[in-house]
Amino acid sequence: MLAKLTTFSLLGIDALPVEVEVDVSAGALPKTVLVGLPEAAVRESTHRVERAIVNTGFQRPQARVVINLAPARCPG
């Protein structure tokens, strides 16, 4: 796993914690894959995520990038 972070997703006016895990697999065909949360908006946002990576100044890895989105566990 390359990185793991906690962020938030909006559901109405509520902010729900989401864990994001990113893995880059060298040697695989270049592709970005979003898995996890089942909303259609998540499945449809793969190209937006790829463009956001490039537009922030990072070079898109020439490998498979898997981004896993899962409901975050609440501490305690």
Interval 39-60: pLDDT, tens: 666 767 888 888 888 899 988 8
Name the residue range of residue 63's domain. 3-71
Quote the CA–CA distance of 17 and 70 in Å, as a whole number: 9
**Under 8 Å between Cβ of 68 and 35:** yes
Q: Is residue 76 part of a domain?
A: no
Q: Is residue 38 part of a domain?
A: yes
pLDDT at residue 61 in the model = 83
**What's the number of domains the chain is made of?**
1
Quote the CA–CA distance of 64 and 10 in Å, as a whole number: 28
Using the predicted structure, report yes or no on whether residue 15 has a pLDDT greater than 80.
Answer: yes
Amino acid identity of residue 11, one-letter, is L
How many CB atoms sit inside 10 A of residue 71's CB? 12
Quote the CA–CA distance of 64 and 8 in Å, as a whole number: 25
